[in-house]
Amino acid sequence: MLSGKYLIDEPEWEQVSSEAKDLVKKLLTYDSDKRISAHDALAHPWLKKMVKAEKVAKEVTIKTLKNLQNFRVSDQITSSFRLTTN
C-alpha cells in the first residue's frame, strides 16, 4: 500500500459488495488530492445503506424486546388472576 498498489481480487474480497469495494478504493487512493474526503466518504451509498440497515435492525430488536417484555407482564397478570380466582 505504501506504493499505492494493492489487490482487491483476493478470495477475502469475494463476498464484499461492489459498493463496499468502491468505497475502499476511494479511501485507498494514493494521491491525496484525488482521495475521497471524510465528508464524501460518510455520504457514500454503501455507508448510508449500512447505517440504515443497522438502524432498522436496532429498531426491530428494540420492538421485539418490548413485545417480549409486554408479553411476560401480561402472562404474569394472567397467571396472578388465575390464582386469585381459583
Task: Chunk the chain into consecutive blocks of 10 residues (it has 86) and report each block's average pLDDT, rounded to whole numbers.
Answer: 68 88 89 90 91 84 79 64 58
Q: Which amino acid is at 26?
A: K
Give the Cβ contact number of residue 79 at 10 Å: 10
Cα–Cα distances (Å) from 21 to 8, 45, 52, in that order, read 8, 12, 19
Q: What is the pLDDT of residue 62?
A: 80
Q: Which of the 8 DSSP states describes residue 4?
A: S
Report field, pTM of the whole predicted structure over 0.85: no
Q: What is the pLDDT of residue 19?
A: 94
Grid coordinates representing 21?
Answer: 469495494
Q: What is the pLDDT of residue 3?
A: 62
